[in-house]
A and B are shown apart, each in its own frame.
Chain A
Amino acid sequence: MRGSVERRQHRAGWAFVTPALVLIGVFFFVPVLAGLFLSFTDFDIYAIGRPETVRFVGLANYARALSNSLFWQALGNTLFFVLVGGPLSVVTSLVAALLVSSKLTRFQGLFRSIFFMPVVTTLVAVAIVWRYLYQPQYGLLNWLLGAVGIGPVDWLGDARWAMPAIILMTVWKNFGYNMLIFVAGLQSIPEELNEAAELDGAGGWARFVHVTLPSLGPTFLFVGVMTMLGNFQLFAEPYVMTQGGPLKATTTVVMLMYDEGFRWWRMGMGAAIAFVLFVIMLLGTMLQLRLQRERRT
């Protein structure tokens, strides 16, 4: 009797997970493995019609990618976006979370919803909006800066300013997401901790440094890793706002992969670039986990 109940649940369990496993397996795990295989071949536009012409080329795609100066430039641009845009976004989120969840703040829910609003908007649409805000002659941003005496900046047309402009736009778009996660983290700090510190005579800043920040450790790790992984995949913003220019200053690794794979149909090369990015992302994640562990000990 007992055995048959167990068998029934076993069968039902597998029946329930099978649709999801098949879909994820066929449309995610198989392509990922196939991508690794593809990266060792010379699969190109001719191979799409005649797959039998594909040849195994070993690490040639990786070698070609790593000796291509455009790859290094795209990697540099992407790293700049990750290392400057990421921390800027996290700090903005933390400040917003502290302001929104202060005990003095009224209409907390309203402010939270407003700050979160850009997160749900369609990236392509708001990227187009920002392209006009950045317009050097008529754009709202230069007009505001002009009012405080800062000369016109050719935001998206100047190779020095294009990536910072994209960073500013993505901080605006995304800070609300991490803000919510910080709000959740702040709520989970026991009230007694703050009260005890206050009794010991700790001021607002001291409490922030010695109570709030250490308690947010796990939240920082989560936010840091997720933001980094997302930022490494930068694609639509430069695609819509700058097409990777000017002077390739906003070309990212994923854009390069897209161009190689879907524009020039050099799919072996595109797959190799995707895997290089994947390995860099894994290393970045491991580094953050390690730093967090060291800080704790």
Chain B
Amino acid sequence: MRKALPSLLLHAVLALGALFTLAPLLWMVSASFMPGGEANTFPPRLLPSAPTLAHYVDLFTRLDLGRQFLNSTLVAVASTLISLIVNSMAGYAFAKLRFRGRERVFAVLLAALVIPGQVGMLPLFLLLKGMGLVNTYVGVIVPFMAGVFGIFMIRQYALSIPDDLLDAARVDGAGEFRIFWTIVLPVIRPILVTLAVFVFLSAWNDFMWPLIVLSDEAKYTLPVALASLSGEHVQDTELMMAGSVLTVLPVVVLFIALQRAYIRGVMMGSVKG
């Protein structure tokens, strides 16, 4: 009884916080269904008077945003697959395989975490230009293919694999790559899911690098296309909201489906501090 009032107050504050947090997203969805011009009225409308799909149709026909949607999907999926293979191999080796120079190499990699990506961006652009990779999908995914944070995440998880398990396989004559493929990968599956969500989200959401590398509109990813459209169509509020929904929806759905895995990754990040 004594705790009823504080509890009520606490939940009221939480509910208000949740409302403020969701409001911009809910308004985005609502406005995307409003007839043209209805989002620019006073007082503002919260719900569409007559819900319409016209702006979504517009996105896929007149603006041909379906193409950029596919670009984003391709870039995010390719980044995820490549980084899973590269980072899991390296992370496992740093945790479990004894090789000379291991600790020193790992320390150098960790030190790289303090260097912001922008420091290397200009030369990286020139390098890719020299390799003929500017304005290509490969150029977009280059920064995502291998990552220190991903390697670190896999390593922390792989440390808990019992050495006996690996040694038993070695006694049976299994090669190191076979051990990795048939024993290690199934064991570290949970952290692979975490890494996959992390990489997919950052590749999907990234803006600055694809903005720099891509010059051809047909190759734009959704964020770059959206930013360029928002300049031309600044008056078409409802259309821009439909475009925003299209961009945000896949990552929100992915987060809701795999939030356990994602949250574990965020918490692991704090361990390294």
Contacts and interface: CB of A to CB of B under 8 A. Distances in A.
A-B interaction: yes
Interface of A: 5-6, 8-17, 19-21, 23-24, 26-32, 34-35, 38, 48, 96, 99-100, 102, 104-106, 111-118, 120-126, 128-133, 135, 137-140, 143, 172, 176-177, 180-181, 184-185, 218-219, 221-223, 225-226, 229, 232-233, 235-236, 239-240, 254, 257-258, 261-262, 267, 270-271, 274-275, 277-278, 281-282, 285
Contact of A114 (B18, B92, B97, B177): B18
B165 interface: no
B43 A143 contact: yes
Contacts of A17: 89-90, 93-94, 105
B176 interface: yes
Interface residues of B, number: 99
B184 to A, nearest CB: 10
Q: Give the most central of B125, B252, B255, B266: most A CB within 10 Å.
A: B266
Nearest to A28: B120
A118 B98 CA distance: 42
A275 to B, nearest CB: 7
A122 B28 contact: no
A225 B273 CA distance: 9
B122 A126 contact: no
A102 B7 CA distance: 10
B159 interface: no
A16 B125 CA distance: 28
Contacts of B205: 120-124
B89 A240 contact: no
Contact of B93 (A16, A117, A219): A16
B226 A128 contact: yes
Majority secondary structure of chain B interface residues (helix, strand, loop or mixed): helix
B22 interface: yes
A274 B44 contact: no
B124 A27 contact: yes
Contacts of A140: 23, 27, 44
Q: Give the most central of B39, B119, B248: most A CB within 10 Å.
A: B119
Contacts of B177: 12
Contacts of B7: 104
B11 A126 contact: no
